[in-house]
Amino acid sequence: MNILEVSGLKVNYGGISAVKGIDFYIEQGEMVALIGANGAGKSSTLNALSGIVPASSGEVRFAGHIVTHLPAYELVKQGCSLVPEGRGVFKRMNVFENLQMGAFLQENPAEFKRLLDQVYTFFPRLEERSTQMAGTLSGGEQQMVAMGRALMAQPKLLLLDEPSMGLAPLMVETIFNVIHSLTKTGITILLVEQNARLALQLAQRAYVMESGLITLTGSGAELMADTRVRQAYLGE
Ligand code: ATP
């Protein structure tokens, strides 16, 4: 079953056409990567899927329902959460409060506790730093907060925008290990990543975006072996 089906999606900013009509799908439980150069339209795609920017045209179907023009909080309610580029943590709130914000839909204290424990199991560092102001955390720790906050909403589909950006190699490894573990919990993931090698190693399937269009698709392994991908995105 496809949890997400996108057809003819376009995103415009005034006269600028960032996404020019793309079609793609994600199956339930899949880990799919979206790779491409700077400015290809990857973030605009994720932002449109999560209701942060409006789709100019096209249709987004999530878990069987058309959600194209729903606001972000409605999409979170339906099970689609974004971890935005740049993390967007609430800097003047502590780690725990950031995680609490992610659980704004949760009214059951026992369930809240279960979700919090789950996030702390994925990211023990967040439990250690639960009372620290998020703005004073390292970039990697802020990435953990942003991911933890999204997970507190119990998403069916997690949209990750450039989780490795600006992080030291060891922190990238930590974050990607968690992404890998998350896939084993049954959650569906759409990963936008500049680090194409890492993304293709981890993803079952991937799409390549160029100038607002999807130009290639295949399994992670197929794309790793594709000469065009190797030259353009793997630096070979
Ligand atoms: P990057 O990896 O650099 O984030 P990207 O593939 O995610 O790139 P987008 O951020 O979606 O690409 O940008 C696609 C195009 O849309 C770019 O030309 C960008 O300048 C433009 N764009 C993005 N956001 C806006 C905005 N709010 N207003 C105007 N133009 C925008």
Given CA atoms 71, 73, 79, 83 in this order, what sign does their dihedral have?
A: positive
pLDDT at 233: 85
For ligand 1, say whether the CB of 13 is within 6 Å of any of its atoms: yes
Q: Is residue 172 within 8 Å of 162, Cβ to Cβ?
A: no
Q: Whole-angstrom Cα distance, residue 41 to residue 20?
A: 9
- Report the nearest atom of ligand 1 relative to the CA of 162: 2
Residue nearest (by alpha carbon) to ligand 1 atom 2: 38
What does the block give as tokens for 207? Answer: 């799409």
Q: What is the whole-number distance in angstroms between the Cα of residue 156 and the centre of ligand 1?
A: 26
Q: Is residue 87 within 8 Å of 103, Cβ to Cβ?
A: no
pLDDT at 234: 85
Q: Whole-angstrom Cα distance, residue 92 to residue 37?
A: 33
pLDDT at 136: 96
Residue 63's nearest CA partner among 10, 5, 143 is 5
Residue 65's nearest CA partner among 77, 47, 53 is 77
Beta bridge partners of 191: 33, 160
Hey, is 102 helix, strand or coil?
helix
pLDDT at 171: 92
What does the block give as tokens for 98? Answer: 């950031």
Q: Which CATH architecture has domain 2-233?
A: 3-Layer(aba) Sandwich (3.40)
What does the block give as tokens for 229? Answer: 């991908």
Q: Is residue 211 within 8 Å of 36, Cβ to Cβ?
A: no
Which residues 6+ apart lie within 8 Å of 18 measured at CB?
A: 11, 12, 41, 44, 212
- Report the nearest atom of ligand 1 relative to the CA of 209: 6
Run means of pLDDT, 10 residues per run, the chain, 236 residues: 96 96 97 94 96 96 95 94 90 96 90 96 96 95 96 96 92 93 94 92 95 96 92 82
Task: Cite the DSSP H helix spans in the chain.
Answer: 42-49, 72-78, 95-102, 109-122, 124-128, 139-151, 169-183, 196-202, 220-225, 227-233
What does the block give as tokens for 132? Answer: 């620290």
Residue nearest (by alpha carbon) to ligand 1 atom 24: 44
Q: Is residue 214 within 8 Å of 24, Cβ to Cβ?
A: yes
For ligand 1, say whether the CB of 39 is within 6 Å of any of its atoms: yes
